[in-house]
Structure 1
Amino acid sequence: MQRLRIDQDIKPLSEVRTGIASFIKQVHDTKRPVVITQHGKGVAVLLDVNEYESMQEKMELLTDIQTSINQIDNGEGVEHDEAKEMIMQRIFE
C-alpha cells in the first residue's frame, strides 16, 4: 500500500457522499487509502480490495509468527535437527 498523502487522501464525508465513484477510482489508481472524516475526525477508511486482502494476509502471518515465538518462549518449540528428522520421516513413509 502506498503511503497516505494528507493533502489528497483525507476527505470529509459530505464530499465522499457526492463523489464516491471518483474516490473509488482514486483508491484503485493510486493504491492509497482515503480517510473519511466526519465533524473533523476520522471515521472510516476506503481501501482497494487487493490492498485490504494483502493487509489481512500480512496480519495472519504476523499472528502466526507471534504464536510461534510464544510457543518457543514456553518451551514448546522443536529443535531444528529434530524438526528436520520429523519432516524427512514423513516424506519417506
Structure 2
Amino acid sequence: MLGSGPSRQPQKNWGTSSEKGRLYFITEYVKLFCKEFKEIFYMVNVNYAEDIVPLSSFRADMTRLMSQTKATHRPIVVTQNGRAANVFLDVADYQQLVDKLDLMMDIYKGEQDIAAGRVHSTDDVRRAIASDLGVSI
C-alpha cells in the first residue's frame, strides 16, 4: 500500500530527468495556486458605489440585486445599522469560490507533505496502484 511504504526525502539536486520533471510539476503547481488565488481575489472584489446596500433597500429591491449578482459575479454587502451584516452572492459563484478554496487547501496540505518528506517516488506509486488493481507492471 502507498501509505505503508517508506517515504523518500525530497532531493536538492535537480540533475536527472526525473528530478527535472518533479521541479516542472512543482513550478506548474505554484502557477496554478497563484492563478486560483488571483481569481478568488477578483471574484470577491466589491464595487463600493453599487454593491453595498442597507437592509431596507435590499428587501425592497431583492429581485434586481439578485440579477445584479448573477450578471456581475460580485457580492452584495448588506448593511444593518450602518455596519456590514451579511454578504449576498450568486449560488454558482459561491460554489466556485468554495471549490477554489478547497483546491488551495489541498495545495497547502501537499506543500506541507513535501516539506515534511511525506513523498513517494513515481515507481512506488505505480506499483501501489497496480497492486490495488491486481495487475502487474
Fold shared per TM-score above 0.5: yes
Q: Which stretches in structure 2 are left out of the alignment for 5+ residues?
A: 1-42
Q: Secondary structure at the match of 1:58?
A: helix
Deviations along 1:39-85, whole A, 9 cap, x unmatched?
Answer: 121111111111101001101101111111111111112245654x4
Higher gyration radius (CA): 2
Aligned residues: 92
Distance 1:24 1:71 in 2: 42
- Indicate the structure with greater strand content: 1
Q: CA deviation at 1:88?
A: 7.6
Higher relative contact order structure (alpha carbons within 8 Å, sequence separation ≥ 6): 2
Q: Percent identity over the alignment?
A: 29
> 1:69 matched to which residue of 2?
111
Q: 1:78 aligns with which of 120, 125, 128?
A: 120
User: TM-score, length-normalised on structure 1?
Assistant: 0.81
1:57 to 96, 99, 112: 99
Instruction: For residue 10 of structure 1, report the CA deviation from its aligned partner.
Output: 0.5
TM-score, normalised on structure 2?
0.58
- Contact 1:2-1:30 within 8 A present in 2 as well: no
SS in 1 for 2:45: coil
Aligned twin of 2:59: 17
Instruction: Point out where structure 1 has 5 or more consecutive residues left out of the alignment.
Output: none
Counterpart Cα distance in 1 of 2:84 and 2:44: 19
Q: CA RMSD in A?
A: 2.1
